[in-house]
Amino acid sequence: METFFTVPAESGSSLINALLRNFEKLAYMPRVTVHLLRHGEVFNPDGVLYGRLPEFHLSERGRAMADMVAEHFAAQVNDGAAPVYLVASPLTRAQETAQPTAAAFGLDIVTDPRIIEAENHFEGMKVNKAELLKPRHWRYFTNPLRPSWGEAYSGQAERMLEAARDARRRAFELGGDGASAIMVSHQLPIWSARRSAEGKRLWHDPRNRECTLASLTTLTFDGDDIVDVAYSEPAAALLPGAATTPGA
């Protein structure tokens, strides 16, 4: 004799509704934006590749760029986009770029060594054709796809995206769904992170980087997944005439 267990219609309906609600919770992930902000122009009269060298401060133009970025974020407050978490590279130029935004929103600047500039053999030198042709540098040109003259692109992307995900989590804790964080970093680490987020090969022509001074590369996270990458230049009006030292 076979027996069957029958769920009353009302109970079945309640169970289905509960399952649907749980599914919606699992399917929905909070969205948070993390802005990767490149520092402003640096006072560098000798035109050296300053890399991780200390005490390279913003120029007057660079300070104006940092102010414009803070104004850009302040203008977004009415749209509910006020940043709640601010991180900066330990290098002077990044810390100084972060200061106007920190003051505008009453935020502490959290220093994160993971978003520092890339290591580079040519740090402290004027990078020009005459310098590059010196035999003592030749062994550093063996693998431009890595690149062999400095920190691997893959390592830069990995540490930057790890820091970005941590910033996302902290921003969500502080501001909930729709919160945003800012990470003040440097051109090459930002560019490497962007190309990785977009699923592109990491080696590239440095002349084609889309990461100007005081620019924003914005990562939109759905949970821990990056679902959108956007780019903007809040200080575009100050870019004409700005320094273009390679790797700055």
Supply the pLDDT for residue 243.
86
Give the integer Cα–Cα distance in Å for 47 and 158. Answer: 29
Q: pLDDT band for 82, please (50, 70, 90 cuts).
A: confident
pLDDT at 25 over 60: no
Tell me the per-residue pLDDT of 44-68, one tens digit each, with 9 for 90 and over: 999 999 999 999 999 999 999 999 9
> How many Cα atoms occupy the beta-carbon half-sphere of 19 within 13 Å?
6
Question: Taken in order 69, 204, 42, 112, is the CA torsion positive or negative?
Answer: positive
pLDDT at 24 over 60: no
Tell me the per-residue pLDDT of 189-205, one tens digit each, with 9 for 90 and over: 999 999 999 999 999 99
Return the minimum-mean-pLDDT range out of 22-36, 124-138, 176-190.
22-36
Q: pLDDT band for 77, please (50, 70, 90 cuts).
A: confident
Q: Burial code of 158-191, b = ≥16 C-beta within 10 A, e = fewer?
A: ebbbebbbbbbbbbbeebeeebbbbbbbbbbbbb
Q: pLDDT band for 210, please (50, 70, 90 cuts).
A: very high
For 211, the token pair is: 């990461």
**Hey, what CATH class is 29-238 in?**
alpha beta
Give the integer Cα–Cα distance in Å for 121 and 136. Answer: 11
Mean per-residue pLDDT over the chain, rounded: 90
pTM of the model: 0.86
